Amino acid sequence: MDNRYVIGVDFGTDSVRSVLVSTATGEELATSVFEYPRWKAGLYCHPASSQFRQHPLDYIEGLEHTVRSCVEQAGGTVAKQVVGIAVDTTGSTPVAVNQHGTPLALLPDFADNPNAMFVLWKDHTAVNEAAEINAHARRFDTDYLQYVGGVYSAEWFWAKLLHIFRTDDGVRRATYSWVEHCDWIPFLLCGGEHASGIKRGVCAAGHKSLWAEAFGGFPPNDFFATLDPLLDGFTARLPQETYTADQAAGTLSPLWAERLGLSTRVVVGIGAFDCHMGAVGGQIEPYHLSKIIGTSTCDILVAPKQEMDGKLVKGICGQVDGSVIPGMVGLEAGQSAFGDVYAWFKALLAWPLQMLSAGTTDETARYQIQLLESQLLAELSKQAALLPPTENSELAVDWLNGRRTPDANQLLTGAIVGLNLASDAPRLFRALAEATVFGAKSIVDRFIDQGIPVKGLIALGGIPRKSPFVMQLMADIIGMPIKVHRSEQTCAIGAAMFAATAAGVFSKVEDAMQQMGQGFDMEYLPNPTNTARYAKRFERYRQLGNFIETPIKHHE
């Protein structure tokens, strides 16, 4: 095979990463990471109210920096052989745009207005709007929530749009359309000039925006107009046609070709969410649950379309034909917090260290304090692994950022019970780690209970490669073997595979997966004795969760 090259761009929560990859071997010739400076400084966010916004300049600067860096690392000869570029992003992470498709935050009048910026996936300011959508949908004969698990989430497209419109009249009046991050970046790269020209990926539209082929597109205008007159007529500004990620959005505009050091012949692929492209980069197989594990988790399963006929899984983040692999139904689930739970506990323990570090002028002492802080999670994992699982030790629920699946509810909170004077940091950390894995087991059980077999687990991302303690815990609690993919950059690699397919190097993305995939290099096998012990603790976890959730259900 001729050696052509493609670029995959992965827009994560904290940074963007680009990789330049050989289509012949999957070899990563160059990689570059850019941390979002405004996000890192905590701008436009208010965690106490669950407001998390990101400025489009963070994305634009990161895109240019990382892609150009990869091109420069690989050299001019390679750059001339780059044939495609594709992106994945977090989601649902939408933004208000004007008629030209420009995010409002890029206009002088809205430059520092958080409501004019991208509303990050983890933003939960729209919980009331999500509850209204769920109640409203029950009034219609057609179940417009059937393909998103029957529950609409505060993390998704319409709830966020309605919240912004209600909150900020200035942004509402300036808004022409509402666009997902993964759809806007390809539009930007292709030099789009009108919002009507934005090609919407079926991944984002189907999983977060209520688009379904069975409805002929979005629900009818009456559904939205009777929800709130502010949404009357809005779907007319959204194209009814959607595209799978193996298709082309266009080619690089002259402006962006120059900014990136590439040719205008480079094909730009249709965008999709990180977990969906990550599942492809991680070489997903039918009925194997692909778990991208980081700050949160996104769990992806694919099943042949003909085998899903008539099956609807309740309480997940949707099932959409072609959202992962064209010709297969992609099913999405996930946890609102996973690594974030550990980060919270680390920050809690490190608070005295941070105060001491801030109060000293001794650089050596400050360095030592920062070194200790960086070693906290590794030492906690080491000590927690030495503790045997017991039925009655400290128990936690992992809903520190609400619950995504099963059955989305962002009003839920976490808990730790069973504390006593012997409860120390390793025991609490172990309880929190167990809770995150119990949450993972709840997702597996939901698929199985709804008639979707789970034949095995595929783990992707940083935590699977860096935390043997958590991964062995997962294998033991779920009772299934877990294969860990060799690459830490499966999302960017998946984007590269789609870029190669959109550019015509491969006729279908499965061929790109086979040719460019890097395979697996670790596997965790369950300990049957531990699995039996954890089964009892899992039941206690469920009971505690029900206790927490019951008063909230009554309140609703």
> What would the pLDDT profile of 90-130 be if each residue is shown by its tens digit?
999 999 999 999 999 999 999 999 999 999 999 999 999 99
* Cβ partners under 8 Å of residue 137, min gap 6: 143, 144, 145, 152, 223
**What is the pLDDT at residue 553?**
62
Burial class (CB in 10 A: 0-12, 13-18, 19+), 362: exposed
- CA-CA-CA-CA dihedral for 427, 431, 434, 440, to nearest 10: -150
Determine which of 53-57, 254-258, 342-346, 408-412 has the lowest per-residue pLDDT on average.
408-412
Q: How confident is the model at residue 483 (pLDDT cuts 50, 70, 90)?
A: very high
Residue 94 DSSP SS3? strand
Preceding peptide of 406 cis, ω within 30°? yes
Distance CA 104, CA 111 (A): 7
Mean pLDDT computed over every residue of the chain: 95
Comparing 148 with 1, the larger pLDDT belongs to: 148
**What is the pLDDT at residue 363?**
84
Over range 252-267, report the average pLDDT: 98
User: DSSP of 155-195, one letter per residue?
Assistant: TSHHHHHHHHHHH-HHHHHH-SEEEEHHHHHHHHHTT--SG
User: DSSP of 514-548, one letter per residue?
Assistant: HHH---EEEEE---HHHHHHHHHHHHHHHHHHHHH
Preceding peptide of 507 cis, ω within 30°? no
Distance CA 154, CA 146 (A): 17
Instruction: For the chain, give the percent of residues with pLDDT over 70.
Output: 99
> Contact, 90 vs 274, CB < 8 A?
yes
Instruction: For the chain, give the percent of residues with pLDDT over 90.
Output: 89
Over range 471-494, report the average pLDDT: 96
> Contact, 160 vs 221, CB < 8 A?
no
Cα atoms in the Cβ-side hemisphere of radius 13 Å centred on 441 = 26
> Contact, 209 vs 323, CB < 8 A?
no
Asked whether residue 203 carries a pLDDT value surpassing 60, the answer given is yes
Distance CA 299, CA 482 (A): 13
For 76, 129, 152, 460, 467, the CA distances from 484, given in Å and listed in that order, are 35, 38, 31, 6, 11
Asked whether residue 35 carries a pLDDT value surpassing 60, the answer given is yes
**What is the pLDDT at residue 2?**
67
Asked whether residue 500 carries a pLDDT value surpassing 90, the answer given is yes
Number of residues assigned to the chain:
556
Beta strands 15-22; 5-11: pairing state: antiparallel
- Quick one: which of 100, 80, 70 has its CA closest to 10? 70
Residue 336 DSSP SS3? coil
Over range 424-433, report the average pLDDT: 98
Domain boundaries, given as residue ranges, for the chain: 5-282+488-520, 339-486+526-555
Over range 183-211, report the average pLDDT: 97
Q: How confident is the model at residue 556 (pLDDT cuts 50, 70, 90)?
A: low
Class of domain 339-486+526-555: alpha beta
DSSP state letter for 409 = B
Asked whether residue 343 carries a pLDDT value surpassing 70, the answer given is yes
> Contact, 394 vs 435, CB < 8 A?
no
Over range 209-232, report the average pLDDT: 97
Strand partners, 201: 243
- Structure tokens, 59: 């994305």
* Residue bearing tokens 């086979």: 514
Asked whether residue 464 carries a pLDDT value surpassing 90, the answer given is yes
Same CATH topology for 5-282+488-520 and 339-486+526-555: the answer is yes
The yes or no reply on domain 5-282+488-520 and CATH 3.30.420.40 is yes
**What is the pLDDT at residue 310?**
84
For the chain, count helices (H), then strands (E). 20, 22
- Structure tokens, 473: 């815990």
Asked whether residue 554 carries a pLDDT value surpassing 60, the answer given is no
**What is the pLDDT at residue 392?**
87
Q: How confident is the model at residue 555 (pLDDT cuts 50, 70, 90)?
A: low
For 2, 99, 111, 130, the CA distances from 58, given in Å and listed in that order, are 36, 22, 13, 28
**What is the pLDDT at residue 360?**
79
Q: Which helix (H) or strand (E) holds 38?
A: helix 37-40
